[in-house]
Chains A and B, each alone.
Chain A
Amino acid sequence: KAGVTQTPRYLIKTRGQQVTLSCSPISGHRSVSWYQQTPGQGLQFLFEYFSETQRNKGNFPGRFSGRQFSNSRSEMNVSTLELGDSALYLCASSTVAGAPPSTDTQYFGPGTRLTVL
């Protein structure tokens, strides 16, 4: 079956703009988690959605928001972009909510590379 897909793969924005990233989970997966990867901080958890509800949230400012649709697709929005928001944004899906091992392992998408100029 198809894996997790993320669009767009690459994005260039300028400071102050906003951006919306999209994630389509594996068919049948209802949980979508978002992560930010930077060289300095590694992989940091942003938030998790399950059945259109946010279940967990990491330590990111309110400029970072997300939502999940009834078909489990998820979007992440970052408003008022800052240079430090340049990163690889990864989403991961799993069949049920919560961290392993209560769920099966998360499956990651290839990521969206966001560059803020």
Chain B
Amino acid sequence: DQQVKQNSPSLSVQEGRISILNCDYTNSMFDYFLWYKKYPAEGPTFLISISSIKDKNEDGRFTVFLNKSAKHLSLHIVPSQPGDSAVYFCAACFMNRDDKIIFGKGTRLHILP
């Protein structure tokens, strides 16, 4: 049972446009969410996170939006750059519990020239 779902295995976006990666979760008790980026032959690297007490967190070109009622979050990349081509993993966990992070299956983002 996938508690964190990334329903789009891949996404292609023109360079300079906005990339929107989506993530849904089933457990309403999750209260902290993270996005990781992974290049081939490398481990995932942390990108941005958001606590459930917020609905938006911004860091440079990256913005994460959280819609708790819909149990949905999205990562916006503006403007998209060639170096953004990677696999993006959405992850969720519990802020006050010593428990594991649950990852989605990932979305492969292709930035087209």
Chain A residues close to B by CB (< 8 Å): 4, 33, 35, 39-45, 48, 55-56, 58, 90, 92, 97-102, 105-111
Contact = CB atoms under 8 A, between A and B. Distances in A.
Contacts of B45: 107-108
Given A35-B103, A99-B99, A101-B95, 7 more contacts: A4-B43, A43-B91, A44-B103, A99-B94, A99-B98, A102-B96, A106-B46
Contact residues of A: prevailing secondary structure: loop
A99 B49 contact: no
Interface string B23-49: 000000000101010000111111001
B98 A97 contact: yes
Contacts of B89: 42-43
Interface string B59-85: 000000000000000000000000000
Nearest to B96: A102
B44 A90 contact: yes
Contacts of B104: 42-43
B93 interface: yes
A43 B43 contact: no
Given A42-B105, A99-B93, A56 B43 contact: no
7 contacts: A41-B105, A98-B98, A99-B93, A99-B99, A101-B32, A101-B49, A107-B46
A92 B101 CA distance: 12
A48 B100 contact: yes
Contacts of A102: 95-96, 98
Contact of A43 (B32, B44, B94): B44
A108 B43 contact: yes
Nearest to B33: A100
Contacts of A40: 105
Given A42-B106, A43-B103, A55-B98, A101 B51 contact: yes
Contact of A58 (B6, B44, B100): B100
B102 interface: yes
Contacts of B93: 99-100
Contacts of B96: 102
B43 A111 contact: yes
B50 to A, nearest CB: 10
